[in-house]
Structure 1
Amino acid sequence: MAKRRGGQHDRGQGSQDSGEARPSRALRGRAGRMSGGRGSGRGSAGAVRLWGRHAVEAALMNPERKHRKLWATREGVAALDGELPADFPVEWADVADLARLVARDAPHQGLVLDCEPLPDLFLDEVLTGDPARPLVVLDQVTDPHNVGAILRSAAAFNACAVVTQDRHAPPESGTLAKSASGALEVVPWIRVVNLARALDEVAEAGYWRIGLDGDGELTLGEALPTGPVALVLGAEGEGMRHNIIQHCDALARLPISSAIESLNVSNAAAIALYAVATRPDGD
């Protein structure tokens, strides 16, 4: 199963704030009022709580999202790139009130949104698209900051999806969405029961599965083919599990200096995605 994202990846690019006026776009809302719990950073039963301008704005513009309620300062709403529907459920609040709705010290930027989780999506729904777009597979990467940052890089480098194992991945959350900076809404996040079986399905679809491993004999540049690529990354410290390594077609390393042992998994994913995006086309 997975999380469907509404729209193409260019909608997920975070823009830099500037003093220039931005064209107004209609923000989408399907309102349903709720009473919200305070203090934990979690939405009420069955809801996801998002915060921060990029995460909230992307969720509001995503037609796949069903929204429940927005808590906001007037300055926060004024910063949004678009207009809220007239009947959208907004509760005006001050900065201190919003701080009690989110995780400790979370930068909410005057916006906190309770919404439904994104709809489910299956792996085969993303394996029949543009073969030039890579797939990212994460083996037991559980830190929401890392998964969010990888989603952001996946959006930046036009990956077709991010795949994780359902039981060993963080839930959809405000922390993850803030790290993804809007990419949670545009990159399909596929959660599967059995990652090894999913890698078999990826191979059957014609993808070359490259596991990132510091002990790989080849560099990533040497291992990259010209066809569809699935990049497989393991958790920091443990790396990929043995069974997942056995389901890779090649192991490759990033050519980093011996002055440092390894890279953060989100940094490694960004570099690997850049390598795929800039590889020769083979013509």
Structure 2
Amino acid sequence: MRRNHAKRRPAQADAPRPGAAERPAFSRRETRDDGEGPLWLWGTHAVLAALANPARSLHTLLATENAAAKLVSPRLAPQLVTAKELDHRLPPGAVHQGIALKADPLEAALLEDVIAEGATRLAVLDQVSDPHNLGAILRSAAAFGFTGLVLQTRNAPPITGVVAKSAAGAAETVTEIRAVNIARALETLAEAGFHTVGLAGESQRPLHMAVAGAEKLAVVLGAEGSGLRPAVAKACAELARIPISAQMESLNVSNAAAIAFYEAGRGSFPPR
């Protein structure tokens, strides 16, 4: 399900300029990646998904000759560049695979709107701060049928190019939802009939038992290292743990998310 909420700006593609196939001049590296204003997306999956998302307002598409030969987009003609020019334009270390897109960020949805639209599987992140973890969680959410991700308005990273690359296209299909107060958002979900399950290593309740049979489910994951904050844990209907070997103290939050999403959707997806 592509994100396409009424509160978002309408998608508008810039008309291709004359000589669009010519290489543009680059005078400086564009390192801004804070989610404010137009931002760069890079990598094949992230860019192709953004081009296919009508909710994205597009500005500039850059591609090497090899990447452009495999690219078909009626929305925006690519400008040909070299790989070195892309390296110069994008943040340091960006693995661009020969393609990059400048586009406006997607506007976050309201939790009440997502509930009204009939969502049944949501993830809630309590101050998860690493953008690579956020991207990986988005990817796992899309893989296992979780259609929305609730993030705090503050103390959570924006959906930037780094996040989109790690998400491999899932940033376009999993709805970003922002909430000022996570505990209050959980109360709203409970009132809407969601069973809210927080992951906590100290719980004795096995995860598979906590999520079994829930028609509407919200899985709540805490920050790297510190886990769920006390007020957020208290707002969950129950806490559950992923049984792991005693040799390991904990799992990375993105790994824990993937396991939780799988358990929630176990048996829901037929073989390909």
Normalised-by-shorter TM-score class? 0.7 to 0.9
Q: Distance in 1 between matches of 2:260 and 2:108?
A: 27
Shift of 1:181: 0.2
Cα distance in 2 for partners of 1:68, 1:37 equals: 18
User: Which of 47, 52, 59 is 1:56 aligned to?
Assistant: 47
Contact 1:51–1:107 (8 Å) recurs in 2 = yes
Tell me the alpha carbon deviations over residues 128-153 of structure 1, each in whole angstroms, 9 at most, x when there is no partner: 4556x421000000111001100001
2:102 aligned residue (109, 114, 117): 114
Q: Give the corresponding residue for 1:184.
A: 171
Q: Is the 8 A contact 1:46 1:116 kept in 2?
A: yes
Give the Cα–Cα distance (whole angstroms) in 1 for the partners of residues 243 and 155 of structure 2: 28
The AA in structure 2 aligned to 1:223 is A
User: Identity of aligned pairs, percent?
Assistant: 45
Q: Secondary structure at the match of 2:47?
A: helix
Structure 2 residue 264 is matched with structure 1 residue 276: yes
- Please say if residues 140 and 169 of structure 1, whose CA atoms lie closer than 8 Å, have aligned partners that are also in contact: yes
Aligned: 1:205 with 2:203: no
| Distance (Å, rounded) in 2 between the aligned partners of 1:183 and 1:112 | 16
**Structure 2 Cα separation of the partners of residues 92 and 219 of structure 1:** 53
* 38-47 vs 146-155, which moves further: 38-47
Per the TM alignment, residue 127 of structure 1 is displaced from its structure 2 partner at its CA by: 1.7
The residue that corresponds to 1:241 in the other structure is 229
Using the TM superposition, give the Cα deviation of residue 236 of structure 1 relative to its aligned residue in structure 2, in angstroms: 1.5
**1:35, CA displacement in angstroms?**
9.7
Q: 1:10 corresponds to which residue? A: none
Cα distance, 1:37–1:137 mapped onto 2, change above 3 Å: farther
Secondary structure of 1:54 counterpart: helix
Name which of 207, 221, 227 aligns with 1:220.
207
2:26–2:85 CA contact under 8 A, matched in 1: no
Q: 1:37 to 1:146 in 2, by over 3 A?
A: farther
Write the mapping of 1:67-86 to structure 2, written as runs, cut at 5 A: 67-80=58-71, 82-85=72-75
Aligned runs of 1:166-185 on 2, under 5 Å? Answer: 166-185=153-172
Structure 1 length-normalised TM:
0.82
TM-score, length basis structure 2: 0.86
Distance 1:225 1:144 in 2: 30
Structure 2 stretches of 5 or more lacking a match? 6-10, 18-23
Cα deviation per residue 1:101-154 (whole Å; 9 max; x = unaligned)?
1121211011111101113311112224556x4210000001110011000011
Counterpart of 1:39 (choices 29, 40, 52) is: 29
Q: What one-letter code is carried by the residue in structure 2 that aligns with 1:193?
A: V
How many matched pairs?
253
8 Å contact from structure 2 (residues 33, 161) kept in 1: no
Shift of the alpha carbon at 1:48? Answer: 1.6
- How far residue 43 of structure 1 moved from its aligned partner, in angstroms, is 6.5
Match status 1:266 vs 2:249 = no
Rate the CA distance shift 1:35–1:113 in 2: closer, same or farther, 3 A: farther
Matched-pair contact (CA < 8 Å) for 1:192–1:198: yes
